[in-house]
Amino acid sequence: MGYLFISPWLIGFLVFTLAPFVTSIWLSFNRWNIVTAPVWVGAANYRALVANDALFWKSLFITLKYAAVAVPMGVVAGVLLALLLNCNVRGIAVYRTVLFLPSIVPAVASSVVFVWILNPQIGLVNALLKRLGIIGPAWLADTKWAFSSLVLMSLWGVGGSMVIYLAGLKDIPVYLYEAAIVDGAGPFVRMRKITLPMLTPVIFFNLVMGVIGAFQYFTQAFIMTNGGPEESTTFYALYLFNRAWRYMDMGYASAMAWILFLIVVVITALLFRTQRKWVHYGG
Amino acid sequence: MDQPKSVWIGRVFVAALIVFVAVFWTSQLRAQYTHHARKHVRFWHMWTAEWKDVVDKIVDRFNKSQDEYEVEALSVPSSGDSKFILGVLGGDPPDVMAQWSPIIPPWADANLLRPLDELMSPEEKRLFDTEAYPVVKKLGTYKGRLYGLTTGINMWAIYYLPDQLRKAGIDPDHLPNTLEGLFEVSQKLNRFDKQGNLVHLGWAPDNIQMFTPIFGGSMYDRAHSRLTIDKPENLRALTFLVEARKRLGFENVVKYTSGLDMNSASGGWPFIGGAYTFTVDGQWRVEQLRKYAPELEYRTIAVPAPVGGRSAAGWSNGNFMIVPRGAKEAKGAWEFIKFWSGLTNPNRAAEFYTWGGWLPLTPEITRSPIYQAYLRKYPQFKTFVDLMPSENMEVLPPVPFQQYLSDQIGKMEDSAVRGTLTPKKAIEGLQTAVDQEVSRRKELGYAQ
């Protein structure tokens, strides 16, 4: 009877998640243009990716760079905002709401807004910079700035993780601070010795989720730059999408997806290994 | 537990609503066809807004002319390509579709398309082979078979604003007849502010695919069916574009144009507002200018040849009709294609071409009284029609990885005009990317 009740979910999982997941392993060893029947090519897709596709390596590097820069930046910004919003000041609920709101704006909508904000000629950012006497760059249209623009834009959605950090901060027992104050610890020491260590499980969670999210980064690059200029924002997932649907090469794209999956698994496993050294689970 | 009466009334109301919506919807589905006794032809296209109205008018004319077929038009503006593929794979494709994406080689190789010459009578085939403009044949043909029949090919030429020239002391009636000379004139109209930022643009030529044929080059050798990326003429064309951009400042043009809606299909097109004096654009702008800026004085000329280059040359793409494999009414689809394109009745179809501001399929259509009247009314359009008979018009190389090639050509030009790579290095980079793709496809066993 229990299975009957969860059958809608079970069927959905089997048909829309597990089946495509397993099928994609088989497809990654096939040549398949979506239209004709798949043809077994062994490891040729993987060989071609590694040995004969410069854009594969370039897109992987761009994605790694994004994960290495945007994820730590998001963690720092999220923790700092959570610390600020943990203060007892008048109207704090309003501040929390205002800072959380951007994270629930759909990625497509915020991407379109940022295209305008970052427009070099008529955009808000360059208009503000101009008032300060600075001539802003061409942002998304500039090869040197497009990647950085997307990294900066990633902070727009930091409100989601901020709420989790805030919940983590609320969870730190007050008696720890009381004991520290009695021992004569100042605010900086309390932050370093109590707040941050007690927050590490939440930081770890957001770090893992952030890294996984970074490797799947797609929507903003697809809408705002479409991989350009000069492939400077061709993220792995965008290149994978193009291979699958633009160039109709689903077998090749499946091989890319599996390489991505393995990379994410390895990095996540490495993060889990390191947690013993820096994540504190209290008692 | 007994439910309150109001809950039951609510449930009955919801059930009745669902039944009503279902009945209404299915009756609407049936009502799409007015002549139930006729064979129904499903036509998909990607036009919207006022263009969709023109399409509906042509479909209406076809349906009135018929007693055997009835065409039902459906606009699929977003993801039309993937809907088409899924339709064919699912065994329920449209009977005919109007396309403009570079899909003929990959879809023909994937057996998604039915060659139109299979549907043509010998007389129709002869008519097409002898009458159609050369560029029409280039665009629709792949590996010797006709897969797409154009109903509106695109040509590019120079649009310019005589008034801005007069104000700069340049006689618009006596412009230089070489590309180099014309470019020099255009640069006299650039204006910069104190910081060196561009505030008015004379002309920033772009689109390497447009300029390679003008410089005598080509990306494809049709005689030997092979790509010819590293031709010296192609390098000359790219060098011209890069040098032009260098004079304006690489970043300057990017910044200036980023504030302009270059693709605007309405009155927001920056040319109308005078943001630049010269631009290379398609024939559809004539219709746009008629609608949104009827008072604007503008002229069109073919891009002049550079010294040692080719005249009446350039690049072309356009709208074409395809028939999918598995189309249930392929014969009806072909009747509709013939009707619209004017292959067998040029005088009748000439009117359709004028409705959309489209370029004709054959010289017969061009010569028709209706089309001639249109050209007299809009002399700027004649510039584009005059390019049609030219053998120097090129299309995107018909290779199976056409979309990939198109993307890589765009990337190569981008890298060169930004100054990241020298023109020579950019061309070499394109060659390397194409070689890698060919080798990758060979290793995977794809069609070459």
> ipTM of the predicted structure?
0.85
How much is the pTM? Answer: 0.87
Position of tokens 């239209």? Answer: A35
Range(s) of the domain holding residue A260: 53-278
Rounded distance, CA A153 to CA A264, Å?
23
d(CA A79, CA B405): 46
Whether residue A53 and residue B436 make contact (CB cut-off 8 A), yes or no, is yes
- For B317-338, what is each residue's pLDDT tens digit? 988 999 999 899 999 999 999 9
Q: Residue B435: helix, strand or coil by DSSP?
A: helix
Residue A180: pLDDT above 70? yes
Phi, psi of B137 (to 5 degrees): -65, -40
Residues of B in contact with A28 (CB under 8 A): none
Interface check for A179 against chain B (CB to CB < 8 A): the answer is no
User: Is B155-314 CATH 3.50.50.60?
Assistant: no
**Residue B436 contacts A where some CB pair is shorter than 8 Å:** yes
Please give the CATH superfamily to which domain B35-154+316-394 belongs. Answer: Periplasmic binding protein-like II (3.40.190.10)
Residue B30's pLDDT is what?
Answer: 47
**CA B330/CA B322 separation, integer angstroms:** 10
Interchain CB contacts (distance < 8 Å): A and B: 82
Angle (deg, nearest 10), helices B423-444 and B402-417? 160
Stretches in chain B below the pLDDT threshold 70: 1-4, 6-7, 21-33
Chain A contact for B200, CB < 8 A? no
Nearest CA in chain B to A122: B259
DSSP state of B201: B
Dist CA B369 CA A143 (whole Å): 52
B35-154+316-394 and B155-314 in the same fold: yes
Looking at the structure of chain A, the number of domains it has is: 1
A163-182: average pLDDT: 94
Residues of chain B with Cβ-Cβ distance to A251 below 8 Å are: 444
Domain ranges in chain B are 35-154+316-394, 155-314
How far apart are the C-alpha atoms of B43 and B40, rounded to whole Å? Answer: 10
Task: Give a yes or no: residue A1 inside a domain.
Answer: no
Q: What is the pLDDT of residues A66-116, one digit of tens each?
A: 999 999 999 999 999 999 999 888 999 999 999 999 999 999 999 999 999
Contact: B436, A34; criterion CB under 8 Å: no
Q: Which residues contact B44 (CB under 8 A, 6 or more apart)?
A: B73, B74, B75, B76, B80, B83, B84, B94, B96, B97, B98
pLDDT band at A283 (very low <50, low <70, confident <90, very high): low
Measured between beta carbons, the chain A residues lying within 8 angstroms of B82 are: 245
CB distance B151 to B100 below 8 Å: no
Task: Dihedral sign for Cα B66, B72, B78, B80, please.
Answer: negative
Residues whose CB falls within 8 Å of the CB of residue B113, separated by 6 or more in sequence, listed in order: B104, B107, B147, B322, B323, B324, B325
Q: How far is B403 from chain A (nearest CA, A)?
A: 7
- Give the pLDDT of residue B250: 85
CATH number at residue A231: 1.10.3720.10
Rounded CA gap, B153 and B384, in Å?
10
Task: For residue A60, tell me if it sits in a domain.
Answer: yes
The reply to whether A39 falls in a domain is: no
| Within a domain: A194 | yes
| From B89, B255, B403, residue closest to A120, measured CB to CB | B255
* Amino acid residing at B99: Q
Residue B279: phi and psi, rounded to 5, are: -155, 150
* Domain assignment present for A5: no
Q: Residue A98: inside a domain, yes or no?
A: yes
- Chain B residues touching A247 at Cβ < 8 A: 401, 403-404
Q: B284: distance to nearest CA of chain A, Å?
A: 26
Q: Quick check: B221 and B211 in contact, CB under 8 A?
A: no
**Average pLDDT of chain A to the nearest whole number:** 94
Pairs from A147-151 (Cβ < 8 Å, separation ≥ 24)? A147/A62, A147/A65, A147/A66, A147/A232, A147/A233, A149/A118, A150/A66, A150/A220, A150/A221, A150/A224, A150/A225, A150/A233, A151/A66, A151/A69, A151/A70, A151/A73
A227 belongs to a structural domain: yes
Q: What is the mean pLDDT of residues A234-238?
A: 97
Could you tell me if B259 lies within 8 Å of chain A, comparing CB atoms?
yes
End-to-end CA distance of chain A: 40
Return the pLDDT at B1.
47
Confidence (pLDDT) at A170: 93
Q: Is A251 on the interface with B (CB under 8 A)?
A: yes
Residue of A nearest to B412 (CA): A230
Rg (Cα) of chain A, in Å, rounded? 23
A50: contact with B, CB 8 A cutoff? no
A51 in contact with B at a CB cutoff of 8 Å?
no
- Cβ pair B445:A31 closer than 8 A: yes
**Beta-sheet pairing, B96-99 with A30-31:** unpaired
Q: Do A34 and B89 touch (CB under 8 A)?
A: yes
Q: Which of A118, A121, A226 to mutate to test the interface with B (most CBs of B within 10 A)?
A: A121
Q: What is the pLDDT of residue B81?
A: 85
